[in-house]
Copies of this chain bind each other. A is one copy, B any other.
Amino acid sequence: MDEFELINRFFRPLCVDVAENDIGIGDDASVLTISKEQQLVVTTDTHVESVHFPAGAKPYDVGFRSCTTSLSDIAAMGATARWASLALTVTDASDDWFESFAGGAADALKQCQASLIGGDTTRGPLVITWNIIGTVSAGTALLRSGAAPGDGIYVSGTLGSSAAALTFPLTGVQSYTALQDELRNRYWYPKPRFDLAHRLRSIASACIDISDGLVADLAHLARSSHCGAVVDSVQVPVDSALIELVGIECGLQMALTGGDDYEICFTVAQENESELMCLGKKLNHCITRIGHMIEGSGVRVIGGSGQEITVNKTGYRHFD
């Protein structure tokens, strides 16, 4: 049973009495009405050593990345991150370890002026859970579920670099080439797209952050929106360092399936596409149209001559 089946079967029944228009389980984060004007946006993410990040990683990097990837869920909803709780389970860590980990977490929170407001520190194998609470004006959160057939599909930034970084050692004292260093930095220091997503609230019809991989996350968006999606692979913005390292074919596969980039994927109705282009220029932010939504279901990836491209895997899943 994979994680999604597990949640649906055993934990979704515990999601009760969530108000109309609120979202419990099933988006990047929950959306909860707290007043007429405001909704809370809440996300929880766990990072286990050797599962979600390599053993022996620098504590600063672990602190920064674990916190930032949770912030990315809040960003992708168009919300403002406000408060963070940290559950940190660790065995026999030194003062230096804690200081460095806390430094990374502090720098992550500073990106969006969020505050640590509590948590729990316990002894055990290294497991880190961040719970982030954000706020958003009522009814304006960017959900996975708003896309319609005909909407354009867009991504921010470039894709695949984190997947490439995972192909060589991420920790240790060995020296890296400048290219490897660039990719490693993309993995360890993702940038939540707060500015962009915040302004997309009046433009985009649906949004998700790319944590499992473009095709896997777009499939979540399509399923939630009761649509299908077609991706024009030629348009997918593959990271240039990645192309240099592994070539375009392999780079494309990494961009389609590699997670961990924490860019956002969103859809925009035709009538809003010109406004989106203006926004991209204004923010000086790379935004790329990679396809469109269709009637039906699933995600199809099309090559330059119209042929269907087989995607090697569809994102990371626990409990496979």
Contacts and interface: CB of A to CB of B under 8 A. Distances in A.
Q: How large is the interface on A (under 10, 10 to 19, 20 to 34, 35 or more residues)?
A: 35 or more
Nearest to A135: B34
Interface centre among A32, A106, A131 (most CB of B within 10 A): A131
Copies in the complex: 2
A274 interface: no
A185 interface: no
Interface string A66-110: 000000000000000011011101000001001101100110010
A131 B117 CA distance: 12
A43 interface: yes
Interface centre among A42, A99, A118 (most CB of B within 10 A): A118
B86 A121 contact: no
A83 B32 contact: yes
A6 interface: yes
Contact of A6 (B1, B37, B85, B98): B98
A306 interface: no
Contact of A48 (B1, B37, B89): B89
A304 interface: no
Nearest to A98: B10
Given A14-B116, A18-B115, A124 B122 contact: no
Contact of A14 (B32, B89, B109): B109
B24 A34 contact: no
A127 interface: yes
A79 to B, nearest CB: 13
A2 B241 CA distance: 45
B318 A30 contact: no
B34 A121 contact: no
Interface of A: 1, 3, 6-7, 9-11, 13-18, 24-25, 29-30, 32, 34-35, 37-38, 40, 42-46, 48-49, 51-52, 82-83, 85-87, 89, 95, 98-99, 101-102, 105-106, 109, 113, 115-125, 127, 129, 131, 133, 135, 318-319
Given A16-B115, A18-B115, A46-B122, 12 more contacts: A17-B113, A24-B118, A29-B118, A30-B118, A35-B38, A42-B117, A44-B86, A48-B122, A49-B124, A51-B122, A121-B318, A123-B318
